[in-house]
Amino acid sequence: MLRETLSMVRDLPRLHDIASVLIRYGWGDVVRILGVSHLLERAGRLLHWKTSGEITQLDLPVRIRLALTELGPSFVKLGQILATRVDVFPPSWIAEFEKLHSNVPPVSFELLRPELEERWGDSIDNVFAEFEHEPFAAASIAQVHRARLRDGVAVVVKIRRPDIHAKIDADLRILTHLARLLEMEMPDMRRYRIVQIVGQLQRSLLRELDLAKEARNLEAFAHHFAHDDTVHIPKVYWEYCSEIVNVQEELVGIPGSQIARAEAEGYDLKLLAARGADAVLKMILLDGYFHADPHPGNVVYMPGNRVGLLDFGMVGRVTDGRREQLIDFLQALINKNETGMLNVLTIWAGDVEIDEERLAYDISELIFGYDNLSLKDIHLGALLSDVTALMRDNQLALPPDLTLLFKALITLEGLGNQLDPEFHMVDHLTPFVSSVIEARYSPQALAKRAKRGASELAEIVFGLPRDVARLFRRARGGRFRIDLDLKRLDHFGQQLNSAANRLTMGVLTASLVVGSSIIMTVEGGPELFGLPFFGLLGFIVAFFNSVWIVLSIWRSGKV
């Protein structure tokens, strides 16, 4: 089946590598179910089906992490996205996925120089006053060098690795097909939303491959915090930026992971925690854009107790509608409103069939567990983890944008607790929720929503005659059509086509045998080895047809 879905033969070497790693880490059954082994064998690539006993003794999440690490950048990024799916995977799996990092050796700068100088139209020595050829950071997609502009400004230069785009494109093609096949051939895997996760991976990787996109993100966040002296976003130097290179201001301060050093140098850790939390909550609830990975490595503590933020490659987006749902959800949590929580979770679950009675009971149990706690005693990270566990137990999955948001909030609260043991995210969240709710029901907001609703209603009413007329014209012209999306129907059609081909070959083979037998009894005509030539030729063709049919049935596993 995979043969019909893979579009290019050039992906076969990479597919062989993926299949070999899966087999080595104990996933041979998946390779067989997907038909990958048959495809590779037909292409003349043999697979070794031996799995190490030491590997099979490891826990499944550990084996998955090791396999993803070995498979390279695209799969490491896939694991990092899986680490955000706290609604799908249990904590033990999330802990393993969070260990995935793109620690790869840097590329020699001489391999990067020609493309950079072509983009800038001049030599590196003329563009910069200083440029460190040795990178101080290297990841799977890009590496970072320190430099100094001609006017003396210290900058960092983020450069995309050469040929990485083609490699990631091949991986994405294969992963997309494998995800569809997994959901088709293994129904139990559908609850993990594999196709959706691969789609999220594809969007994330394509964004990160375009380094100019990160520069645009930086500029957007800098605009939102232009009048906030407590948060610093690096300045972008657009004259040097392109799809393959990003030049931005170097933030001078103490890395977020060096908390003891910050305290020793007189920084106010409680104030840093509060300012970091307020910055991210403003992004989420007011601006609609947020830094999706606010871990210590992406934070710099700067003089004046300012918080500097780095690495805007992974950015989350909160639409107006989603922000309204999020506010309703948080308000229901704070007020312990079971019905409100049920309504929002039902919307987030989408078209998935829900056992509402069980979900309502689980929500009641969740709220009961927090019933005797005051607001200041509630840890938002633990609460969100309980909510995602509730959805996981009910086989519901959060929309991808919300998984990023929940993960960002949990990470942010963890960072806040490192800085200040008495830090409570809820204390910072409550004022934002209150102000947003007040703004939602202000006279201006109500008037705006009423105007928008009236406009939409008028469009529906006045457009109804046109839509009905179009419907009747299509029906009268025989162009009325209903589209049905039936799962596995394509697979059934392919099986039916394969069976028809075998049946046709069987009938032709039988006809050849009968016809050749008749020719053998007729005297005259050309002979070979004393036998009628055409009769002998018919038997030979019938023999090879029979071998083909037997091998086809054997390979399909339907003997």
CA angle 352, 358, 362 (to 5 degrees): 110
Q: How far apart are the C-alpha atoms of 519 and 114, rounded to whole Å?
A: 72
The answer to whether 152 and 129 have CB atoms below 8 angstroms apart is yes
Q: How far apart are the C-alpha atoms of 339 and 305, rounded to whole Å?
A: 42
The answer to whether 282 and 318 have CB atoms below 8 angstroms apart is no
Q: How far apart are the C-alpha atoms of 298 and 174, rounded to whole Å?
A: 32
Strands 306-309, 231-232: pairing kind: parallel
293 in active site: yes
Q: What is the CA radius of gyration of the chain?
A: 31
Q: Phi and psi for 247 in degrees, rounded to 5?
A: -115, 120
CA distances from 555 to 19, 28, 33, 490, 546 (A): 18, 16, 12, 20, 14
CA distances from 224 to 241, 294, 302 (A): 21, 17, 19
- Alpha carbon dihedral 203, 204, 209, 212, in 10-degree steps, equals 90
The conformation of residue 236, written as its DSSP 8-state character, comes to B
**C-beta atoms surrounding 329 within 10 Å:** 20
Q: How far apart are the C-alpha atoms of 519 and 513, rounded to whole Å?
A: 10
Q: How far apart are the C-alpha atoms of 49 and 155, rounded to whole Å?
A: 50
Strands 306-309, 527-528: pairing kind: unpaired
**C-beta atoms surrounding 13 within 10 Å:** 13
Where do the H-state alpha helices sit in 122-228?
A: 124-127, 164-185, 194-209, 211-224
Catalytic residue among 87, 278, 293, 328: 293
The conformation of residue 10, written as its DSSP 8-state character, comes to G
Closest by CA position to 310, among listed 294, 323, 325, 324 = 294
User: Which residues form the catalytic set?
Assistant: 293
